[in-house]
Structure formats: C-alpha cells, structure tokens
Amino acid sequence: MSIVLYWHPMSSATPIASALVELGIPHERIALDLKAGDQHRSEFLALNPNGKVPTMVVDGNPMFETLAIHFWLAGQYGVERGLWPREGTAERMQALSWSAWAYVSYGAVLVRLHLATQGEEALRSEVHAAAARSGLDQLLAVLNARLAAQPWMLGADYSLVDLIVGAVIGYSVYVGAPVASHPHVQAWLDRVQARPAMQLKAD
C-alpha cells in the first residue's frame, strides 16, 4: 500500500505524521510551504479542495480532516499493532468518544480562545478569552478525573487515543489553556510528548 502524507511541521498534520511513525507504517512525507502558498496550488487542491494539511493519499486516493485520517489509520493498522481497540468492544466505544471529545467538545472551546487571543484584532477580547479559559478548565477537570484513575486514556496501556487527545491538549497549552492546573493531565501529557514518535523533525 502506498501512503503519501502532505504536511507542515507544527500544524494539525503533525499528529498524523506522529501516528504513522508510532504505527511503523512505511510512507512518504511531503512538506508544504504554507507561507509560499503551496496548499493553494491546483495540483494540491485536486487532492484537498479545502487547501489544508493534513492530506493523505492512499494508493492514489486522497483523504483529509485530521480526525478522519486518525480513525482510518487506527482501524486499518492500529488493532493488529495493539494500539487501537477491536471493533465491538467497550474500549472501542471509549476510544471513539474521547477522540471526538478532544476535537469537537474541547476543540470548539479552544477555537474560541484562539480567536479571542490570537485572531484578527476585531475578534480579540479578554472577556471572551477568560470565558473560553474557564470552559477549557472545566473540560480539563473531566479529563483529569479520568487520568487520576488510570495512567493512559484507555487504562493501563498507551494507545492511539493518547496520541489523538494529547495532540489537541498539547496545542492548547500553546494557546493558553490552563493545563498545568490539572496535575494528572500534565503528567500524562508529559509522557505522551516524550514518546519517540512525537519527536518529529522537518523534512
């Protein structure tokens, strides 16, 4: 199977690049120069009309959206490598739930914080930023309670759920989320980020 990942370091494509390494999947990685506008070139738009990374091409067939690619990789390779629960198990339901939680529930509030602090000048607001940080704090408390009871998202062992959720939580630190106020989340995030697959270098 031929897999090509179009990515940019320190972008939403980085967790996909890490997942490919974590899973040990042979692939080609092509870095786009986003500042130069590589993502808007016609040949790339033919693969992803949104003009964004990540975009992954499997045997000539493109797919996009980070969470969709994660789920495809997890289902295709993760089960046999012991990094994703089997279909029909309670663990699989938890894996899907927490992954979606990170990108949808947590991600929606994170976008609010990003816009209020780093968006266009007209959108910046300390009032809105404070409200977003409070919302993230409440969500982090939920995650902290889970990680107080077990070392990894699904229990005793690391899985792709840790990579998926950890990528979103890690980015939120950069934006200003109060992750450090939740010790179990912080300790878990440190372990996730220390994994060799997370130590990616630019192409």
What pLDDT, on a 0 to 100 scale, did the predictor assign at position 82? Answer: 97
Q: Which residues pair with 177 in a beta bridge?
A: none
What pLDDT, on a 0 to 100 scale, did the predictor assign at position 203? Answer: 61
What pLDDT, on a 0 to 100 scale, did the predictor assign at position 196? Answer: 96
CA contacts within 13 A on the Cβ side of 129? 15
CATH 3.40.30.10-classified regions of the chain: 3-78
Contact (CB, 8 A) for 15 and 167: yes
Q: How confident is the model at residue 6 (pLDDT cuts 50, 70, 90)?
A: very high
| Mean pLDDT within 48-71 | 97
For 4, the 3-state DSSP assignment is: strand
Domain at 90-197: CATH architecture? Up-down Bundle (1.20)
What pLDDT, on a 0 to 100 scale, did the predictor assign at position 99? Answer: 98
Residue 121 or 77, more confident: 77
Q: Rounded distance, CA 112 to CA 110, Å?
A: 5
What pLDDT, on a 0 to 100 scale, did the predictor assign at position 39? Answer: 96
Q: How confident is the model at residue 138 (pLDDT cuts 50, 70, 90)?
A: very high
Angle of the 66-73 helix axis to the 14-23 helix axis, nearest 10: 10
With a cut of 70, say whether residue 202 has pLDDT above it: no
CATH topology of domain 3-78: Glutaredoxin (3.40.30)
CATH 1.20.1050.10-classified regions of the chain: 90-197
Q: Any idea of the CA torsion for 65, 68, 71, 74, to the nearest 10 degrees?
A: -50
Contact (CB, 8 A) for 108 and 101: no
Q: How confident is the model at residue 10 (pLDDT cuts 50, 70, 90)?
A: confident
Instruction: Encode pLDDT of 91-137 as tens digits.
Output: 999 999 999 999 999 999 999 999 999 989 988 999 999 999 999 99
Provide the mean pLDDT of the chain: 96
What pLDDT, on a 0 to 100 scale, did the predictor assign at position 1? Answer: 85
With a cut of 90, say whether residue 200 has pLDDT above it: no
What pLDDT, on a 0 to 100 scale, did the predictor assign at position 171? Answer: 96
pTM (predicted TM-score): 0.95
